[in-house]
Each structure stands twice: as C-alpha cells, then as structure tokens.
Amino acid sequence: MTKLPPLNALRIFEAVARLQSFTKAAETLYLTQSAVSHQVRNLEEHFGFPLLVRSQRGIALTPEGATLQHCLRDALQQISDTCEQLSQRQHSIRIKSPPSIAVRWLVPQLQDFKAQFPDLDINVSTVWEEKPAFDWGLFDLAIQYGEGDWPGVNIELLHREVLTPVASPALLKGNTQLSIEQLADYTLIHTSRDRHDWQLWLGTPWPKGQKELLFDADVMGIEAARHGLGIALVDPFIVQDALGDGSLITPCSRTVPSGKGYFLVLPPHDRHLRRVQPLVNWLQQAV
C-alpha cells in the first residue's frame, strides 16, 4: 500500500488550490502564509513533482495538482457530510417498524413523547419483513412482529398479540353481537395470504363457500373494515382509536392469542443504549 502523505498537508493544499491563493488559504485556515507554503512544498517533495505553478500573476495547478485537488474536494466533502450525520444522530433516533403498529399505534403516541423530550428527533421507517434484517447502520432500534426468536440481538417484549373480530357498526346494522355461525353471512377480511389467523380464531379449517377479502397488510384490512367491506380479525391494541371513537366495534367476545407479538429489538452492542433508553422506557410505559 502506498504511504499516504500527511493529511494536514492535503487539507492545506486543497484550500490553496480551491482559493488559488496562499494568502487566502492562510486566512481561511488561521495559519501563517509561510506555514501554508511550507506544507505545500512538503507535499510536492512527497510526490516528487510540482502540484502548483507559481508566477507573479499568482498560482495555477499542474495537471497532477488538478487531479489531486478534484479527489480531495470530493473526499473532504464526504468526510464533512458523514461527520454532520454522526453529529445529528446524537439528537435523533431512527426506528424501523411494521406499517400496522407504526401507523395505528406509534405515530399517534409520538406527540406525548415529543412533549417529554422536545430536543430528541424521531425518524420512523416502515417495512414489512417475513425474515427481518437488522442493519444497525440504518436504524437504532426496531419494533418487530413475530415470535421473538431472532439471534444476535437484544429483545424485549412490547405487546403479546391477541385476535378478535372488528367491524363497522354500519355493516352490522345495529346487530352488535354475533355468534360464530352468524359470521358466515358476512365477508371475512384476511390480512395475511395464508388465511391462518381466521382459521386459528375459528378453530376449524376455512369454511367452504365463505365470502372473503384478502389484503397483505393489517392497515389495509383495518381500513376495509372501517368502510364496511367486511369483518377483520385484528389485535385491539392497534385499533384503540377506532374502538374509542366507535368507527369499529367488536361483535364477538372471543379473543385468541396468536402466539406472536411485537418486540423491541436493540443492537447487540450497548454503545448507543444511553441515547435510545428514554425512548425504550417510554414505549414500554405507553403500552
């Protein structure tokens, strides 16, 4: 590997090349003009060829100097951008979450968190993953749906899922209580393609001839139920607002645990734990 020249000399050369002046570079870097000139000369000795052409009119870049200046400009800008991002991360937390819990529960709760921690910014990214990938360079903690059996990470249970039917009052037309047999008269909304949830709740194979509507996300199934398209099977935890304002009701008293839940997933290292701990504590209390 080629030995790198002193990084300080590279930084000084970039300023001289950009400003086309030893004097302006010295003023910008708070150095003497002789110190700037000395560093550039040392850099030229390192390479064994001139980087600048000096004349009474000023200075000009040699072809080699122009190539180096172009590289240094991009590299220093990238370093500056990265340092800015790292600095901002001290005041922000990046969360990855499934769309359902982010839209239906997390976002409505964030106003309370911001009231308690006004100087801490929260960035939420939503993604649905059957096999979660934990890239700790992209986020600081995750809310993950599943069985909580992911190796190599720190896991804390946030909420254990239970399932119950929900429907629009307009769909039921005043019939606020339904028996399992009466469900056959309605369209049942799936929020997973395997139709596993309804079969789990019914305790039987899928009824032959049953009317159904299929979505691949809870948030769409919930909205379909709110618009009277059928009866969805969801966790009351993520429809608290709709149950509270009456846009959804629970026409069956039966609830069934799914065996899954929502978990807080933290990186295996603890170097950012102090920064995210206030949010972790708040999430656990908010549930």
pLDDT tens, position by position, for the chain (287 residues)? Answer: 567 788 888 888 998 888 888 988 888 888 888 988 998 998 989 888 999 998 877 888 999 989 999 998 888 888 776 665 555 455 688 899 988 899 889 988 888 888 888 878 888 988 877 777 787 878 889 999 999 888 888 899 999 999 999 999 999 988 889 998 899 899 999 987 777 889 899 988 888 888 999 988 889 999 999 999 999 999 999 999 999 999 999 999 899 999 999 999 988 876 666 778 888 888 888 88
Structural domain includes residue 40? yes
**Predicted confidence (pLDDT) per residue in 178-219, tens digit:** 998 899 899 999 987 777 889 899 988 888 888 999 988 889
Structural domain includes residue 255? yes
Question: 206 with 241, same domain?
Answer: yes
d(C-alpha 177, C-alpha 251), whole Å: 4
The CATH number of residue 43's host domain is 1.10.10.10
- Rounded to the nearest 5 percent, the helix, strand and coil shares of the chain are 45, 20, 35
Element containing residue 159 per DSSP (H, E): strand 154-166
Structural domain includes residue 107? yes
Question: 140 with 269, same domain?
Answer: yes
Structural domain includes residue 187? yes
- Cβ atoms of 243 and 166 closer than 8 Å: yes
Question: 122 with 194, same domain?
Answer: no
Residue type, 125: S
Element containing residue 100 per DSSP (H, E): helix 99-101
Q: Which residues contact 184 (CB under 8 A, 6 or more apart)?
A: 207, 210
Cα 32–chain centre separation: 47
The CATH number of residue 276's host domain is 3.40.190.10
Structural domain includes residue 110? yes
Cα 140–chain centre separation: 8
- Out of 71, 89, 107, a domain closes at 89
Question: 249 with 180, same domain?
Answer: yes
Confidence (pTM): 0.66
Domain count, the chain: 3
Q: Domain containing 212: what range?
A: 161-260
Structural domain includes residue 1? no
d(C-alpha 245, C-alpha 172), whole Å: 17
- Out of 39, 57, 89, a domain closes at 89
Q: Are strands 154-166 and 256-266 parallel, antiparallel or unpaired?
A: antiparallel
Residue type, 92: S
**Predicted confidence (pLDDT) per residue in 21-44, tens digit:** 898 888 888 888 898 899 899 898
Question: 107 with 188, same domain?
Answer: no
Structural domain includes residue 2? no
Question: 255 with 119, same domain?
Answer: no
